[in-house]
Amino acid sequence: MNADGLMYFPKGFMWGTATSAYQIEGAWSEDGKGVSIWDTFSHMTGKTARGATGEIAADHYHRLSEDLHIMRDLGLNTYRFSISWPRVFSEGAGQVNPAGLAFYDRLVDGLLENHIQPMVTLYHYDLPQALHNQGGWVNRKVAQYFGDYAHEVAHKLGDRVTHWITHNEPWVVAFLGYFTGQHAPGIQDPVAALQVTHHLLLSHGYAVEAIRSEQRQPGKIGIALNLSPIYPASENEEDLQAALRIDSLQNRLTLDPLFRGAYPEDLKQRLGDLFPSVPPEDLKVISTPIDFLGINYYTRQVVRSDPDFPLFQGVPTMPSGNEYSQMWEIYPRGIYDLLSRVWSDYHPASIIVTENGVPVPDGLDFDERVRDYRRIRYLSDHLQEVYRAIQDQVPVGGYLVWSLLDNFEWALGYDMRFGLVYVDFETKKRKIKDSGYWFKQVIANNGLQKSLPYPFNKEDPGFGN
Ligand code: FCB
């Protein structure tokens, strides 16, 4: 910390926000866009809270210039967004849809005009329905199609995009989509989930090759994983072992093949026949070196041993004593532990926190201000832990808040608000929340105030609106 009470981040630190296509764009059937599995799933009865769909979402597709304006106002230097595959290939493969690509072309140009680095995610859950009809990610062919799609996008945008993310949270795609069925396509089959994990990772490798061969400026390439540090519920040996078992499934299942070119041996043994047979050449493709690892962090897991629980003999607990958000326990220390562990075990070339954020109830006050102080505290506490990791030489190059706008939170619909910007889903009107103004200040300072401003510290008059 410096004498002025600010914790300064490294020069050139990437400050931004993250979003994804289906969660904000709307325009679900416009300009030649094909149907995605999320269009199908959200239209099925009982799959999302209150039957919510992304048909209109935050209407970002039609409000691009307004949203760019907001980003500039916040002073972001990075914006992470995803490309809707069925906008680019309505059938997933074959004929390109130029109108779909043109939207992202405009978005990238708009960002660069505002001095914001574009970070493109190629896949954030919205598989073209046409490919699902061919078996979806269970079908190895879809990994090839993903490589072709990556080629096409990199060909079009590779002269301007500074950062590429192949997949967002392959673990979630596989396990929520194909095992618990809470996400599209709503399948409940553990064998499929493991096969899908492998195909997603393989397709990541294909995409890395495709982007490298197409890009005309050296953009950096990575993948964004949902990682969670796993702690034992007690010091007992049984709980310690249970935590290690869950860690193999939750974290090492994706980290090991990407960084070590091998799936965890203990996990493979535990899963036996459920684990897919994997050609060794695939692991070479999967472990193609990448430029950065994206980490999405929201919470930790605390696990206790439970001999009755199949295969893993461990179950998550709900520890008491800490604050909870609408979805998870709030545990800032977890991001420090996670960053340190990933760095010491895997040594990625660089790490970017590609998502961190919190759902807390908020809304417009009478004066149209959104006083989301709990979000400010969450973000500030987590950033302090990121800062601590950087002080310990973990190469963290950026921090992106999930999310820019309140949006469609998958199965939970519009009930969860994660934005730095409030969206009235009736009128689609936007309003920067107090957390947005707070983040703007952090970015402007390239540093974090040790003590939080008003209302945590009564001296501070508030935020600039
Ligand atoms: C992550 C997803 C993102 C959003 C946040 C809250 O798992 O990547 O789309 O839903 O959680």
Model confidence pLDDT, tens digit, residues 30-44: 999 999 999 999 999
291, 349 Cβ separation under 8 angstroms: yes
Coil vs helix vs strand at 35? coil
Report if residue 235 sits inside a domain: yes
Report if residue 454 sits inside a domain: no
Given this model, what pLDDT does residue 453 score? Answer: 64
Report if residue 458 sits inside a domain: no
19 lines ligand 1 (CB under 6 A): no
Segment 170-192, tens digit of pLDDT: 999 999 999 999 999 999 999 99
Catalytic status, residue 169: yes
Catalytic status, residue 385: no
User: Any idea what the CATH number is for the domain that residue 312 is in?
Assistant: 3.20.20.80
Given this model, what pLDDT does residue 450 score? Answer: 84
DSSP structural state of residue 257? H
410 lines ligand 1 (CB under 6 A): yes
Q: How many CA atoms within 13 Å lie on the side-chain side of 174?
A: 24
pTM for this predicted structure: 0.97
Given this model, what pLDDT does residue 465 score? Answer: 41
Given this model, what pLDDT does residue 454 score? Answer: 59
Percent of the chain whose pLDDT exceeds 70? 97
Given this model, what pLDDT does residue 283 score? Answer: 98
Segment 106-120, tens digit of pLDDT: 999 999 999 999 999
Given this model, what pLDDT does residue 455 score? Answer: 67
100, 87 Cβ separation under 8 angstroms: yes
Whole-number CA gyration radius for the chain: 21
Q: Shortest CA distance to 354 belongs to which of 298, 294, 290?
A: 294
The mean pLDDT value of the chain amounts to 96
169 lines ligand 1 (CB under 6 A): yes
Residue 456 above 80 pLDDT?
A: no
Give the structural domain span for 51: 6-449
Segment 9-64, tens digit of pLDDT: 999 999 999 999 999 999 999 999 999 999 999 999 999 999 999 999 999 999 99
Residue 462 above 60 pLDDT?
A: no
Residue 457 above 80 pLDDT?
A: no
Report if residue 459 sits inside a domain: no
Given this model, what pLDDT does residue 153 score? Answer: 98
Given this model, what pLDDT does residue 4 score? Answer: 79
> 278 CA to middle of ligand 1, Å?
29
pLDDT category at 464 given cuts 50, 70, 90 is very low
Report if residue 381 sits inside a domain: yes
Catalytic one among 329, 355, 385, 409? 355
Report if residue 169 sits inside a domain: yes
Catalytic one among 169, 329, 385, 409? 169
Report if residue 464 sits inside a domain: no
pLDDT category at 330 given cuts 50, 70, 90 is very high
Tally the domains of the chain. 1
Compute CA distances 379 → 323, 356, 388, 403, whole Å: 14, 8, 14, 12
Report if residue 380 sits inside a domain: yes
